[in-house]
Structure 1
């Protein structure tokens, strides 16, 4: 009987939300593969391409905290189904777009529409599954979702061989709309507690440890997403001189590395914590390796390019390590808000890095549609310089709070003790528990 209930919950709760997160990851990374098609068909340059691709991250980041509040108030079923309908509209508009402005609006709608894709799924897991299964199911959710990045390589390339990118986005629009309807019709409803999350954000933003670690995490994770989500493909074409098949093959390998990265970091953090070693150590090592990989690309080190690009891809899953560090800094009742605040910086930096790279590349003339090696070296080098600065900031001794003034803002008043009891909200890769109704029936 219990086994039957568990499988019904897997089918009616877990899998529909996993499908939504899969689509989110697919939308996030697909522009890397179709970038050349977009440029040739619509005439957009590198700067415009970087801007309308990166606006996904900007809207996604801006929506994190409001979406968390909506999830707390209305529940994951209704919020996710409505937002995915917006993503479907955005995908349809993207398919019909012929110029920069319509592409920008369409990409922004997609970013807003998938902003709750993982968070809604994680909250549904909390609401419907035993707590001892939450971590395991969260891991499966992230792993299945990251398969969207795998799909946005060789499988999409095969589809593009017999249909255009516009037809592909029409299919994605239909699939996203169908997923929204599926979630609304199949996922059961469960009441949630009202949210009071905003009243304790000052505890995060006024903590000097947060501002010591967050810049390093944001510049590494956001830069990785920026590169894999768009600029890896042009680099491989313009700098490495790879043909289309080789580029797709390398992007496919990078996406596989991305999928395995979360599992690798999760296991590593688990084992080192049992030995009394803090997760900050792993964050430092990953940052150093990521910077070294980027420098190897910039300096044209005599290495197979798949090696540094694999490190770049794996760095995108450093969120697992960063949130483990956050867990050491804040009590459980603040963990979700701290993770959400950090996620805003992750996606915000991805937007800045992706758009700024396009602006820098645009300063060099294109030769037969290709940018010079120097253009990429300058664009990537500026990003690396900022990462090195945040690594130095992270490593230096620190004594004073960076943002004590935030605690004086009335909006961020400290929470009462009762707020911890009602801990609510789900953010990307993190969960705040919501008391579930154990007597709810299917």
Structure 2
């Protein structure tokens, strides 16, 4: 066994600590879908404002991805995630004490900065700490932990809201972040000397990644399809159910709970299935090409159903979008260990720029169509139709320009 590979028991503890961090980051990320009625009532936010507030997290998150890739490869996951979680801890406290939209937005952007390595840090570590055939499983189960965080952002948040208020909810989240910081100090292994002594090409090595044809073929898919998946899951599923379908805030939260529970189970099963695909020689590209179109059918079903849309419709969309989640670890594995962090963070930049853009753009289009005199239902349907067209075009771009999963690593 390689000296860098962790024993099974050590790997489990490392995974659980990293999973806790990612759980918290997605809980905060998705909380806006549940809390959107409260923010709208307290601050009088329009759809575009709500989209900007929710998207502020992704803006801060995306801004740090390229620097994070450099820092992760040079200093290792432990040092970097500790530094940024301290920022998240302080920003979450600031968010809980904000009195206006501007301070909420700035605090949320900084929260996005603070949790920006909660997935990239473990994925970078797994490249060296886990066997190659277990890395897709670890990725899927990290996403499962993220789905658990989104699950906690629904009914549990809704139940706590009238008891302690949204400000105290965020104070509790800051406490969880502090606990995670302590666990990381105790449990996560440090980058060894052999890791830090690898030749550092700095930011120049990003050229290899951003010029690689396989990476470029996945950029539109990550921006619109994967980014849009997160935009709908973490925000627009909630407002559709309350503003179009006529659900109460509690009913919408319950539907979001089942939606995110379904995603949790999906990623859990996905983690078991992925090694089977690997052993059978079924490439990631083929799985994406044959699987992603199911999400287009689900989007069409949502648009057609209109006022009858519930959590079931969005659940179909999220489950059918699971295939696109393979793109991120595929990008990481196509490059060598020396620039794995940069590759993963580069693609994460695409995902979260996409999430921010789609999340805000959907709100802008909804307000725009309503200003033209269209009913709320039609405004939502038209906005989602534009998003669907972008997803289809991105998929076709990948089909035309992709190369089958390369077995050679690039450094």
SS where residue 379 of structure 1 aligns? helix
Residue matched to 2:212: 207
Q: Structure 1 95/301 Cα, relative in aligned 2: closer, same or farther at 3 Å?
A: closer
Q: Structure 1 30/315 Cα, relative in aligned 2: closer, same or farther at 3 Å?
A: farther
Residue matched to 1:381: 385
Once the 2 structures are TM-superposed, how far is the Cα of residue 47 of structure 1 from its aligned partner?
Answer: 1.0
Residues 1:83 and 2:84 are matched in the alignment: yes
Q: Structure 1 232/383 Cα, relative in aligned 2: closer, same or farther at 3 Å?
A: same
**Contact 1:57/1:348 (<8 A) preserved:** yes
CA distance in 1 between counterparts of 2:350 and 2:133 reads 30
Residues 1:260 and 2:265 are matched in the alignment: yes
**Contact 1:278/1:325 (<8 A) preserved:** no
CA distance in 2 between counterparts of 1:293 and 1:43 reads 32
Residues 44-69 of structure 1: CA distance to partner in whole angstroms, max 9, x if unpaired?
A: 22111111211211221221221122
Residues 1:228 and 2:229 are matched in the alignment: no
CA distance in 1 between counterparts of 2:329 and 2:11 reads 28
Once the 2 structures are TM-superposed, how far is the Cα of residue 117 of structure 1 from its aligned partner?
Answer: 1.0
Mean Cα deviation higher: 331-340 or 18-27: 331-340
SS where residue 15 of structure 1 aligns? helix
Residues 1:158 and 2:163 are matched in the alignment: no
Residues 202-258 of structure 1: CA distance to partner in whole angstroms, max 9, x if unpaired?
A: 233223343333212331111110011011101011212223332122111211222
The within-5 A match list for 1:40-55 is: 40-55=41-56
Once the 2 structures are TM-superposed, how far is the Cα of residue 306 of structure 1 from its aligned partner?
Answer: 3.8
Once the 2 structures are TM-superposed, how far is the Cα of residue 132 of structure 1 from its aligned partner?
Answer: 7.6
**Contact 1:258/1:316 (<8 A) preserved:** no
Residues 1:281 and 2:302 are matched in the alignment: no
Once the 2 structures are TM-superposed, how far is the Cα of residue 350 of structure 1 from its aligned partner?
Answer: 0.5
Residues 1:392 and 2:393 are matched in the alignment: no
Q: Structure 1 328/143 Cα, relative in aligned 2: closer, same or farther at 3 Å?
A: closer
Give the gaps of 5 or more residues in structure 2: 1-6, 404-408
Residues 1:21 and 2:32 are matched in the alignment: no
Q: Structure 1 54/337 Cα, relative in aligned 2: closer, same or farther at 3 Å?
A: same
TM-score normalised by L of structure 2: 0.84
CA distance in 2 between counterparts of 1:232 and 1:391 reads 22
Residue matched to 1:437: none
Once the 2 structures are TM-superposed, how far is the Cα of residue 351 of structure 1 from its aligned partner?
Answer: 0.6
Q: Structure 1 329/138 Cα, relative in aligned 2: closer, same or farther at 3 Å?
A: closer
**Contact 1:84/1:113 (<8 A) preserved:** yes
CA distance in 2 between counterparts of 1:398 and 1:119 reads 24
**Contact 2:294/2:321 (<8 A) preserved:** no
Give the gaps of 5 or more residues in structure 1: 400-416, 421-442
**Contact 1:269/1:321 (<8 A) preserved:** no
CA distance in 1 between counterparts of 2:189 and 2:402 reads 49
Let me know the Cα RMSD of the aligned residues: 3.2
Residue matched to 1:294: 299
Once the 2 structures are TM-superposed, how far is the Cα of residue 6 of structure 1 from its aligned partner?
Answer: 5.8
Structure with the bigger percentage of helix: 2
Residue matched to 2:317: 312
Give the counterpart of 1:193 among 196, 218, 234: 196
Residue matched to 2:4: none
SS where residue 327 of structure 2 aligns? helix
SS where residue 300 of structure 1 aligns? helix
**Contact 1:221/1:315 (<8 A) preserved:** no
CA distance in 1 between counterparts of 2:250 and 2:178 reads 31
Mean Cα deviation higher: 198-207 or 145-154: 198-207
**Contact 1:224/1:315 (<8 A) preserved:** no
Residue matched to 1:71: 72
CA distance in 2 between counterparts of 1:314 and 1:148 reads 17
Q: Structure 1 25/317 Cα, relative in aligned 2: closer, same or farther at 3 Å?
A: farther
Residues 1:346 and 2:351 are matched in the alignment: yes
Larger of the two Rg values belongs to structure: 1
Number of aligned residue pairs? 394
CA distance in 2 between counterparts of 1:122 and 1:377 reads 37
Give the counterpart of 1:245 among 250, 266, 283: 250
